[in-house]
Amino acid sequence: MRQLGPLFGVSSSTVCRVIQRLGPLLALEPVSRSADASTRLWIVDGTLVPVRDRGVGASSRNYRFSANVQVIVDAETRLVVAAARPVPGNTADARAWRDSGLAEHCHGVTVLGDGAYINTGLVVPHRKRPGRALLKGEEEDNAAHRKVRARVEHVFSRMKNHKILRDCRQRGDGLHHAVQAVARMHTLALAA
């Protein structure tokens, strides 16, 4: 904000007000389901975003106060399909997925998740059972699953190039609007 102010000839507080006013307008609308939804492949994962607002975040496994944000990415285009409202950072991914309401956007679409999404209806990798090794076909399935699922991690790394997602100081719905705006900018950058 300190850098944008002089660029446009206004104060940094004016830039802050404009961003807070335009943030909700940049909110990302979920992608509409098309007729070929059965051939689409989406990937879901959660990422931890460090926050300062104690009402939004919680102390989590990275020993910081953070919030868990669930994001759906199109596997082919790497465009962000939808992002859920943040939940406290100590919330498991499976529970955050169930509570997010994103599953309603995924009817008829194959959705991949990692091992944290067991019993959620998503396609997850095969698990090793005690005393039983994975079969050769299961190992190959897991390798293919990892290669496709890596795309969502790449999207997260690009989204976190924006400082607001590395340390969000927004209060209330500010984090949700920031994630929506960054997802929209990521989508516009890839579509351009």
- Architecture of the domain defined by 4-191: 2-Layer Sandwich (3.30)
3-state secondary structure 161-189: CCHHHCCECCCCCHHHHHHHHHHHHHHHH
How far, in Å, are 16, 47, 106, 168, 170 from residue 5 at the CA level? 9, 30, 41, 19, 18
pLDDT tens series, the chain, 192 aa: 777 778 778 888 888 888 777 766 665 555 554 546 557 899 999 999 988 888 888 887 766 889 999 999 999 999 999 999 999 988 999 999 999 989 888 888 999 999 999 889 899 999 888 888 888 888 899 889 999 999 999 999 999 998 888 888 888 888 888 899 889 888 888 876
The pTM of the full predicted model, rounded to 2 decimals, is: 0.77
For helices 12-22 and 174-191, the axis angle rounded to 10 degrees is 80
Dist CA 37 CA 123 (whole Å): 16
